[in-house]
Amino acid sequence: MTLLQDRVNAIIDRVVSPGMASGLFDSVPQAEPMSAPYDTMYAVFVAGIGPARSGLDMTSVKITLTGRIHKRALAYPRDLIDPWLLTATATMMAAYSEDFELGGEARMVDLLGANNGGALAGRAGHITIDKTLFRIMDITIPIIVNDAFTQAP
């Protein structure tokens, strides 16, 4: 067992909590959805992991999570979908930038991409789930976890 395994669930719980507290979303699952949400959703799921830096006997990692905001693409009025999406994205990014705590499970959200690139950022697009088209914004949430792996001598 690595030192990271004990912390993963707590980190994801912390990343999900601002979405739940915002009141903007119908649901906030901790997994990529397999069925279409009613209207709005904020789903948090793992996007990647890699080394962030290393000491003599420990390796830190960057865990990249995706926070995906979903809004039905055929909602009316349609010209309000993107402004809502941008407002929801800004709300979530502000939550991760301001007084956000990882409960000692991780060092920080890498807001500016100081550790191997990949800053907190959003990218818009579309996705189809259950034959329903959604307008989405994927928020890249890079988290630095100190001392995740012990190095063997």
* Domain range for 75: 8-150
Q: pLDDT value at position 3? A: 65
Q: Do residues 46 and 29 make contact, with C-beta atoms less than 8 angstroms apart?
A: no
Q: Which of 111, 134, 139, 141 is nearest to 123 (CA)?
A: 139
* Token pair recorded at residue 120: 């907190």
Residue 132 to residues 64, 75, 128, 135: CA-CA distances in angstroms? Answer: 27, 11, 5, 10
Residue 15 to residues 59, 68, 105: CA-CA distances in angstroms? Answer: 22, 12, 12
Instruction: Identify the CATH number of the domain in which residue 99 sits.
Output: 3.30.70.1700
pLDDT band per the 50, 70, 90 thresholds, residue 2? low
Res 22 pLDDT > 90: yes
Residue 3 resides in a domain: no
Tens-place pLDDT, residues 53-98: 777 788 888 999 999 999 999 978 999 999 999 999 999 999 999 8
Q: Which residue has the higher pLDDT, 115 or 89?
A: 89
Q: How far apart are CA 59 and CA 67, in angstroms?
A: 25
Q: How many domains does the chain have?
A: 1
Residue 2 resides in a domain: no
Residue 103 resides in a domain: yes
Residue 1 resides in a domain: no
Residue 37 resides in a domain: yes
Q: pLDDT value at position 141? A: 95
Residue 27 resides in a domain: yes
What percent of the chain shows pLDDT beyond 90? 59
Residue 106 resides in a domain: yes
Res 153 pLDDT > 70: no
Does the N-terminal peptide bond of residue 77 adopt cis geometry, omega within 30 degrees of 0? yes
In the numeric block, the tokens 């119908």 are attached to 26
